[in-house]
Amino acid sequence: MAGVLLLSCFLLAVAGVISVRRDAQQLTEEPLREKRTAPSQTSKSDDCLGALLAQQAAELSSLKDKLHILEINQLTAKSELQSTKSELQTTKSELQSTKSELQSTKSECQTTKGELQASQAKLESKVEKLSLSASAVKKEPGSSFIRWGRKSCPNNTTLVYTGVAGGKHYNQKGSGTNRLCLTRTPQFDNTAKPPGFDLLYGAEYEHIPGLHDREVPGSVCLAPQSTTIMVPATLTCPPGWTPHYTGHLASEHREHYGGEHICLDGSPEDDSSLVRNDDGLLFYLVVTVCGSLPCPPYINDKVVTCVVCSK
């Protein structure tokens, strides 16, 4: 728009110059007309220049307004940039903190993993040991018993050791009542004899045909089954149980101090050919007495049988 106005003013100025030259030639002829025409052309030029200056002033004001808006927008953008930069710094700090926490968590996880692996290894070792133990128990459960009156063990059992019977003196009220199968190879230490003590005696058969006053042997045997019992007053094991030997129930004489009942083998043997009558622990056969004992099925004055069974 300013260019068009400038071009118009230029054309008017050129026209004014031409008009002035033409009027100068006619100066002598029309002096008054020259005076009127020149001011008129000059006035038009001035008006055109004034309009051009006004137009340029308007455009300059518009440019200033645009520049002001641009400056405001620049300040706004700068502020937003600063705010974004601050947010980025905060986010970066948070990311660093999160990274540090993740590294710490990773380290803890590694430690926990190591501990779990160690615990797992220990548990696996224990399980393996328990499995081996269970396997060994399953393969060889076993149970032991004493075969009284014999130096050997029954078939399908293992001899642990053979020994001699021993225990308390029949006429002493103290001591233990259980009968012992003593080893034939005793071992002692240097413990001094105390002021108070018990006594251990050997054993003898009493009133057993062919074995009176002779020493009583015994054998400790291992059965492959897990449980062994002695069943008195019978020669037969319960259903499902394996018999090992049969015999007769034996204990102390009824007028002596009490003692344990055991199953004396039905074919007993002596431990020595000597007849010594040293007494000590005595083996008497047990006989039934009807009354509190139900008869029948029991019979009075019968030697009580027994059987050793396992399962």
In this prediction, residue 49 carries a pLDDT of 78
Question: How much is the pTM?
Answer: 0.55
Q: Which pair of tokens denotes residue 8?
A: 């118009």
- SS3 of 173-191: CCCCCCCEEEECCCCCCCC
Is the backbone of residue 279 left (phi > 0), alpha (psi -120 to 50) or beta? left
Of 296, 306, 199, nearest to 257 (Cα)? 199
pLDDT in tens, 84-98: 898 999 989 899 988
In this prediction, residue 34 carries a pLDDT of 46
CA geometry: angle at 237 spanning 233 and 239, to 5°? 135
Pairing label, strands 201-205, 281-285: parallel
Amino acid at 54: A
Mean pLDDT in runs of 10 for the chain (311 residues)?
60 59 57 49 70 85 90 90 90 89 88 89 86 62 94 94 92 85 93 90 91 93 95 96 96 85 94 75 93 94 97 93
Residue 43 to residue 258: CA distance in whole angstroms: 164
In this prediction, residue 148 carries a pLDDT of 96
Three-class secondary structure of residue 285 per DSSP = strand
Burial 274-287 (b: 16+ CB within 10 A, else e): eeeeeebbbbbbbe
Residue 167 to residue 70: CA distance in whole angstroms: 121
Residue 37 to residue 305: CA distance in whole angstroms: 174
Q: With 0-12 CB in 10 A as exposed, 13-18 as middle and 19+ as buried, what is 215?
A: buried
Q: With 0-12 CB in 10 A as exposed, 13-18 as middle and 19+ as buried, what is 20?
A: middle
Of 125, 162, 131, 126, nearest to 147 (Cα)? 162
